[in-house]
Amino acid sequence: MMILNSAPAPGPWTTAAMITAIVLSSTAGEVLTAAAMKSIGDLDDIRAVSGMKGAIRAVVTCPLFFAGVSFLAVSFFSLLFALNHLNLSLVAPASASLTLVTNAIAAKFFLKENVDRRRWTAAVLVCIGVYFLAH
Amino acid sequence: MAQHKLSAWQYSVLALVSISAPLGDTCLSRGMTSLPAISLAHPATLIAAVFTPWIAVGIVLLIGFFASYLTALSWADLTYVLPATAFGNVIVALFARFWLQEPISLQRWAGIALITVGVGFVAQGPSLTERPAVKPSVGIDPAAAVEEEQTR
């Protein structure tokens, strides 16, 4: 789809705000979804006992899961909005790599995951790697 | 339930997480670029696009991604699963290099190396934070569920 976007390029603060919106909503979505799946328990075990229907029922009856998916939807539409104003080569790597770091921080403080030195190092390496790969 | 080392089945679920998302995106991209330009004035054409072969395959792959991602999150930490999803970027880059014969710049090779080392770092460690048993049917309160963190 070819769109002629004649609007002036947004300034640095507007650009930062758009990317921040994507990163924050994506992080909230990922963390809430992870919390939902932890609260449900091992899906492989549930499927072994109650079958695939039981596993699907366990997921779709969890309110946290819907909260997570809602934030992921907000993140998706924030991405679409940002892509309408900014270049893909900026938005995609910046949001993907920053989200890795914010997720590690959020997982430590909200999910109480053991984000040790090994995982911090990995998060930073993958973050820089994604930026290099996609930029 | 707190298991630190994953089974072969669980590694295959993580591999599915890595592969299905980029493959799904590639199928969607392939399908959408082969269609004539779609105008927002005719949104029904977007619905019709869903039933074209490439886009249908892409959607099936992305549904597979989400199912395997949720499964992985049910037995592994978010900070363990996320690098696996990022590894999909490496798979796509290698796929583009060796199958589509696209050139890869030095910067992209550096990106591939960094992601691979990062994923290797995480994969060496435990997959799940050890925590006391929680009642499975109670709504989650992750903050209350943990008393101690592993020190490493």
More confidently predicted of A7 and A95? A95
Answer whether B54's CB lies under 8 Å from B84's CB.
Answer: no
Answer whether A107's CB lies under 8 Å from A34's CB.
Answer: yes
How is chain A split into domains, by residue range? 14-134
What residues contact residue A92 under an 8 Å CB cut-off, 6+ apart? A134
pLDDT of residue B2: 44
Q: Which of A33, A133, A135 minimises the CB distance to B112?
A: A133
Q: Which of B73, B74, B89 minimises the CB distance to A133?
A: B89
A68-83 mean pLDDT: 89
B108 within a domain of the structure (yes/no): yes
Report how many domains make up chain B: 1
Number of other residues whose CB lies within 10 A of the CB of residue B139? 11
Best of A38, A45, A50, A64 to mutate (most B CBs within 10 Å, chain B): A38
Interface contact B73-A33, CB threshold 8 A? yes
Chain B contact set for A38 (CB, 8 A)? 73-74, 140, 142
Chain B contact set for A116 (CB, 8 A)? 125, 150-152
Write the DSSP assignment of A34-99 as a string of letters.
HHHHHHH--HHHHHHHHHHHHHHHHHHT-HHHHHHHHHHHHHHHHHHHHHHHS-HHHHHHHHHHHH
Q: Which of B9, B86, B126 minimises the CB distance to A130?
A: B86
A14-40 mean pLDDT: 93
More confidently predicted of A12 and B133? A12
- Cα gap A105→A107, rounded to integer Å: 6
Report the mean per-residue pLDDT for chain A. Answer: 86
pLDDT of residue B73: 92
Interface contact B74-A107, CB threshold 8 A? no
* Distance to chain B for A36, nearest Cα, Å: 7
Spans of chain B below 70 pLDDT: 1-4, 40, 131-152
Interface contact A126-B73, CB threshold 8 A? no
B144 within a domain of the structure (yes/no): no
Cα distances from B102 to residues A76, A94, B108, B127, in angstroms, run 29, 23, 12, 35
B138 within a domain of the structure (yes/no): no
User: Taking 60 as the threshold, does the pLDDT of residue A2 lie above it?
Assistant: no
Chain A residue whose CA is closest to B112: A129
Cα distances from A21 to residues A24, A99, B82, in angstroms, run 5, 11, 20
Torsion of CA B75, B23, B106, B79, to 10 degrees: -10
What phi and psi, each to the nearest 5 degrees, are found at residue A54? -65, -40
pLDDT of residue A22: 94
pLDDT band at A87 (very low <50, low <70, confident <90, very high): confident
User: Taking 80 as the threshold, does the pLDDT of residue A118 lie above it?
Assistant: yes
- Cα gap A51→A71, rounded to integer Å: 29
- Cα gap B126→A74, rounded to integer Å: 32
pLDDT of residue B140: 47
Interface contact A128-B90, CB threshold 8 A? no
CA-based end-to-end distance of chain A:
22
Parent domain of B98: 8-132
Strands (DSSP E) contained in chain B are: none
B64 within a domain of the structure (yes/no): yes
Chain B contact set for A122 (CB, 8 A)? 83, 118-119, 121-122
B17 within a domain of the structure (yes/no): yes
B139 within a domain of the structure (yes/no): no
Number of other residues whose CB lies within 10 A of the CB of residue B143? 10
pLDDT of residue B4: 62
Chain A residue whose CA is closest to B88: A130
CA triple B46-B50-B102, angle to 5 deg: 100
Interface contact B140-A35, CB threshold 8 A? yes
- Cα gap B140→B152, rounded to integer Å: 26
Interface contact B107-A107, CB threshold 8 A? no
B146 within a domain of the structure (yes/no): no
What residues contact residue A87 under an 8 Å CB cut-off, 6+ apart? none
Q: Is B90 exposed, middle or buried (0-12, 13-18, 19+ CB in 10 A)?
A: buried
Between A16-20, A92-96, B97-101, the lowest mean confidence (pLDDT) is in B97-101
B28 within a domain of the structure (yes/no): yes
Q: Which uninterrupted H or E stretch holds A105?
A: helix A88-109
More confidently predicted of A22 and B136? A22
